[in-house]
Amino acid sequence: METGSFDLITNVLIILVCLGSVATLYALISPLLEGDVLKKRMTGITNERENMRKSRLDELDNQGKQGLRSETKGFVKTLVDNLSLERLLAAPDLKDKLSQAGLRGQRPIYLFYMFRLIMPIALFLFGIIYFVLLNPFDWRMMQSLVAAFSMMLLGYYAPGMFIKNKAGKRIGSISPVFPDALDLLLICVESGMSIEMAFGKVATEMAENSIELAEEFSLTTAELSYLQSRRQAYENLGRRNDHVGIRAVSTALIQSERYGTPLGSTLRTMADENRQMRVLAAEKKAAGLPAKLTVPMIVFFLPVLFIVVLTPAAMRLKANLG
């Protein structure tokens, strides 16, 4: 029994070491494979703007009628449509969540449903082969089946967790520089620029500090140019970014557009509020730092301290006892 427990602990440690090695290699190699991120983002915004322009022109040309051109479907789209995965694996507010993660268009939606279909099946088969057939941990049949079903559930929720994590990282890079962007936007508006030109200018200036924020402002510029109402563009800005400050700015811009309130005073107030929110967020992180350092200090610092302090005393005691 002791040998089996030792083998189990050894296998778990080997798996953790392998996972840590893979994560470390991915963290080191992934920045080298990204290339020019700003160029890719701006190219995507240009394509999005061109699509909006074409969509607007098609709407004006067709005047509500359906086009005669047939739409070509890829393999993923055909699979999702034929299996009715959008209805079978329905995810609430999927388009908004993908937009918050920086994934726009129809392709990420179809890829999401495809992965939500394939990953549970693939991980369940892997769990059956690894935990039931190979059974390296000498588990009972029920324990192996529970592990296999847990792998299946992990595969079902993994795409959603990936999108949520990507959206969190994206908003985390936008939040610190958003008050500075509002200050620049205020300067541009008070200098006499239109709101479209102001968003475009700020997007260019903020590209070095936050590519994601530059992407959002560029997309807002395109929507202000091609959508029928500015209110829709402001609503889309708040919907694409799950952040209290950005949603408040979106609401303030809508109210300014609707009631004709001065845009400069609105932006100045929003910049002050977002700057205060940034300070509060920094203070919150600083206040939570001691609690986060408790476990690392207990695990890594105290054992080394005990070794340094007690080893000379143990050596003297051993020499005296002879």
Q: Pull the structure tokens for residue 220.
A: 């807002």
Distances, alpha carbon 287 to alpha carbons 117, 171, 275, 282, in Å:
43, 21, 18, 9
Give residue 60's pLDDT.
Answer: 46
Q: Is the pLDDT of residue 15 over 60?
A: yes
Cα angle 40, 46, 50 (rounded to 5 degrees) comes to: 145
Please enumerate in sequence order all residues whose Cβ is within 8 A of that of 74, keeping only pairs 6 or more positions apart, or say none.
Answer: 110
> Mean pLDDT for the chain?
79
Which amino acid, one-letter code, is at 46?
T
CA-CA-CA-CA torsion for 240, 243, 244, 248, nearest 10 degrees? -30
193: left (phi over 0), alpha (psi -120 to 50) or beta: beta
Cβ–Cβ < 8 Å for 159, 187: no
Q: Is the pLDDT of residue 59 over 60?
A: no
Confidence band (pLDDT; 50, 70, 90) for 34? low
Indicate whether 18 belongs to any domain.
no
**Higher pLDDT among residues 57 and 39, named by residue:** 39
Indicate whether 257 belongs to any domain.
yes
Phi/psi of residue 171, nearest 5 degrees: -70, -25
Q: Rounded CA gap, 101 and 81, in Å?
A: 24
Indicate whether 191 belongs to any domain.
yes
Q: Is the pLDDT of residue 56 over 70?
A: no
Indicate whether 225 belongs to any domain.
yes
Indicate whether 90 belongs to any domain.
no
**Mean pLDDT to the nearest integer, 267-292:** 87
The DSSP annotation for 74-104 comes to: -HHHHHHHHHTHHHHT--TTHHHHHHHTT--
Q: Rounded CA gap, 81 and 83, in Å?
A: 6
Q: Rounded CA gap, 151 and 148, in Å?
A: 5
Of 113, 126, 123, residue with least CA distance to 159: 113
Indicate whether 110 belongs to any domain.
no
Give residue 46's pLDDT.
Answer: 62
Q: Residues 64-94: pLDDT tens digits?
A: 444 333 344 566 667 666 665 666 566 667 8
Q: Is the pLDDT of residue 200 over 80?
A: yes
Q: Rounded to two decimals, what is the model's pTM?
A: 0.67
State the total domains in the chain: 1
Indicate whether 80 belongs to any domain.
no
Classify 229 as helix, strand or coil.
Answer: coil
Cα angle 114, 117, 122 (rounded to 5 degrees) comes to: 110
**Mean pLDDT to the nearest integer, 176-195:** 90
Q: Rounded CA gap, 223 and 296, in Å?
A: 48
Q: Rounded CA gap, 249 and 251, in Å?
A: 5
Whole-number CA gyration radius for the chain? 27
CA-CA-CA-CA torsion for 208, 211, 212, 216, nearest 10 degrees? 80
The region of weakest confidence among 58-62, 203-207, 247-251 is 58-62
Q: Rounded CA gap, 105 and 45, in Å?
A: 11
CA-CA-CA-CA torsion for 291, 297, 302, 308, nearest 10 degrees? -140
User: Token pair 């979106």 is at which residue?
Assistant: 250
Q: Pull the structure tokens for residue 236.
A: 């889309």
Q: Residues 299-317: pLDDT tens digits?
A: 888 888 888 888 888 888 8
Give residue 126's pLDDT.
Answer: 92
Indicate whether 275 belongs to any domain.
yes
Structural domain range at position 203 = 176-280
Q: What percent of the chain has pLDDT over 90?
A: 10
